[in-house]
Each structure stands twice: as C-alpha cells, then as structure tokens.
Structure 1
Amino acid sequence: MDDRLIISMTQCFFIAFGVIVGGTIIGSIGSYVTGEAPLTAMFRIAKGLRIWAIVAAIGGTFDAISNFEKGIFDGSTFDLFKQVMIIVAAMGGVKAALLLFEWLLGEEVT
C-alpha cells in the first residue's frame, strides 16, 4: 500500500474528528450565550455536523466524484480503492468524536 494513502487516511480521520469536536464545543458555547441548555445542544450539533465533517475531510465532493469517475471509467482501481479508504477513515473520525461525546456526556448521540 502506498505511504501517501496512509498519510491521507490519517489526515482525513483527524480532520473529521476535529470538525465534530470543535464545532460541537464552539456551538455549545453559542447555545449557552443564547440561554439554551449547552449539553442538549451538543447532541444536536454533533448529529448535524456528521456529514459536513466527512465532506470537509475528503476535501469537497467534486474531487471525490472525479476520483470515482477515474477509477470506474479509466480502469484505475487503486484510485477507486484510495477514495473509498479515505471516506472510511473520515467516517471513523466522525464515529470516534461521537463516541468521545457519548463518553463525556453519558448519553447516546443518535
């Protein structure tokens, strides 16, 4: 396996993790300022940021689509495999962040 693939997967994992953690914490501060319950807002914000964290981690949707196209139509199966693995790594970062909030807050984020 290419070393650059491992590097890209690691970066995507932590970008997605950071989007969820940072967005949820900063968003809950905003909820506190406006008088809402910050812990309840954390669950809502974390749930809403899931797809955006994956999109931010893979660098936008058009690059992913073009890599899928290159993998399918040009016969470059490694590019297709690489893109799938990057998306899986981003999903892992999102799941790890959600598990962190479940552990800290004691409730399940659904």
Structure 2
Amino acid sequence: MDFRTFATSAIMNFLIALGVLLGGCLLSGVGAIFVSKPPLFTMNDYAERLKIWAIVAAIGGTFDTIDELEKGFLGGAPGEVVKHLLLIASAMTGAHTASIIIHWLTQES
C-alpha cells in the first residue's frame, strides 16, 4: 500500500467513524423524543455505546483487518502491520472525536 492509498484510507476511516457516531447519536435523540425519553441523556448514552460499532464500520469489518495483521506478522512485513494499526487508530480517533462533540453538544461529561 503506497502512501497516497494509505492517507486516503486513513482519512476515510476517520470520517466514516465520525459520521456513524454523530448520525447514530443525533437520530437516537430524535427517537428519544418520540418515545418520551430525555433526548440529551439518550444521545450521551449512545455516544459511548456506538463507539465500537463506528470503528468496525469504518474499518470495513474486523476479519479483513485481522487477516491483514496476521499476514503482516507471519509474513515478516512489519510495515504493513504498522499501517493497519494506524488505520484502526484513525477510526478510533474519528469515533472519539464524535463522542467529544456529542458530549459537548449535550453538555454532559
């Protein structure tokens, strides 16, 4: 994987995780209004519960990534291992950024 492909994938992972979490939390707030629950508390709760799913959605499923990590470890390609770990980290950063935004919007800690 060359640098351009890696950078594109990292940016996409970040933004996909950010969008999944923001969209899920904002729509959970709308759903909470329909079922007479407090929307801000619901959004804040889902900000933590959806984090792992945003990461999984961003990296395209865990099995492909785990397979690539295994090939890198067993095939003696540490560069590929580092690249895949950085792609996972970019997805985690996107999910965490969205979580911070939701906590900021709801004024909850």
Residue 101 of structure 2 corresponds to residue 100 of structure 1: yes
Q: Within 2, Cα distance between the matches of 1:7 and 1:99?
A: 24
Moved over 3 A (4+): none
Query: Could you tell me the TM-score, scaled by structure 2's length?
Result: 0.94
Residue 98 (structure 1) shift: 1.1
Query: Could you tell me the TM-score, scaled by structure 1's length?
Result: 0.93
Aligned alpha-carbon RMSD (Å):
1.0
Deviation track 1:58-97 (CA, whole Å, cap 9, x = no partner) reads 0001011101111100112222111100011001101111
Aligned counterpart, 2:7: 6
Supply the AA of the counterpart residue of 1:76. A
Q: Within 2, Cα distance between the matches of 1:25 and 1:104?
A: 10
Q: Unaligned regions of 5+ residues in structure 2, if any? A: none
The number of residue pairs the alignment matches comes to 108
Q: How does 1:26-65 map to 2 (within 5 A)?
A: 26-65=27-66
Q: Secondary structure at the match of 1:73?
A: helix
Q: How does 1:50-89 map to 2 (within 5 A)?
A: 50-89=51-90
